[in-house]
Amino acid sequence: MANLRISLVQTTLHWEDKKANLEMLERKIENIPGKPELIVLPEMFSTGFSMNKELLAETMEDYTVNWLRKTAAKKGAIITGSIIAKDESKTETRFYNRLIWMLPNGEFAFYDKRHLFAYGTEDKHFSAGNKRLIASVNGWKINLQICYDLRFPVWLRQSPVEKPAMAPEYDLLIVSANWPLARSLAWRTLLQARAIENQCYVIGVNRTGQDGKGLEYGGESMVVGPSGEHIKIMGAAEEIFSHTLDREKLEGLRTQLPFWRDADTFFIQP
């Protein structure tokens, strides 16, 4: 299995302005040096963390998903991050905080945020997802999550694929976030804890700057190694950081200290 080159895009966001955000992100992505295989954007990267779903929500055939498809193809990399999405049927319309996993060939998958941030009334505006998405690239299994999900270790807990344990469920946990500065200690601590308990790499990509509600975001996007070591902690400024995840290092740790084999097997009911 090969190493994996990932780029983290930490940026300010224009409040509820899709055109401005996508133009800005397109410039940033074009200027990422080298050839990343995966580019990670913050939560609600096209709008900021807005509850204005009636105005901003899109289907999977609309503007932002088409932009992701075009940009991923142009850069030759997978791009992931969440948007405000809607699913329409004859009887109802449901809204989701949806993370898109867009491949360079235009195919995509998605994860709907499971844990909605009640403190910010997210639960009043969006429906919760009930299924994890574990994607795959270059032999790496990647668990994709959104912001507040980080606080719920059972939902993120690695369970051996079968007993007796044959292989871990995933190798990398990605958290796309709009995590406020006021709770930055929790952000840093929880990212590190998830890496230690799951013996995996963890990447958290947060925004920076101020949103339309006056909330401050401190950035501090991170790459955490499978022993919990800090590989990179960004500051509060806009930054793009690229790093190659080392497969041999991950496998060596899991072989030397095979704690993952003793994990409980369980299923969470929808």
pLDDT at site 158 = 85
Specify whether 200 is catalytic.
Answer: no
Spot the catalytic one: 18, 58, 86, 147: 147
The confidence score (pLDDT) of residue 268 equals 73
pLDDT digit string (tens) for 244-262?
Answer: 999 999 999 999 999 988 8
* pLDDT tens by residue, 69-84: 999 999 999 999 999 9
What gap in Å lies between CA 63 and CA 49, rounded to an integer? 18
User: Cβ contacts of residue 7 below 8 Å, gap of 6+?
Assistant: 32, 36, 38, 39, 40, 77, 240, 241, 242
213 is catalytic: no
List domains and CATH numbers for the chain: 4-262 (3.60.110.10)
Bridge partners (DSSP) listed for residue 8: 40, 241
> Which one is catalytic: 18, 75, 86, 113?
113
Query: Which residue is catalytic, options 16, 37, 43, 122?
Result: 43
pLDDT > 70 fraction of the chain, expressed in percent and rounded: 97
Q: Tens digits of per-residue pLDDT, 133-152?
A: 999 999 999 999 999 999 99
Active site residue 43: yes
Task: Quote the CA–CA distance of 254 and 178 in Å, as a whole number.
Answer: 31
Query: Residue 239 class from Cβ within 10 Å (0-12 exposed, 13-18 middle, 19+ buried)?
Result: middle
pTM to 2 decimal places: 0.95
- In 3D space, the residue among 176, 154, 26, 22 whose CA is nearest the CA of residue 97 turns out to be 176
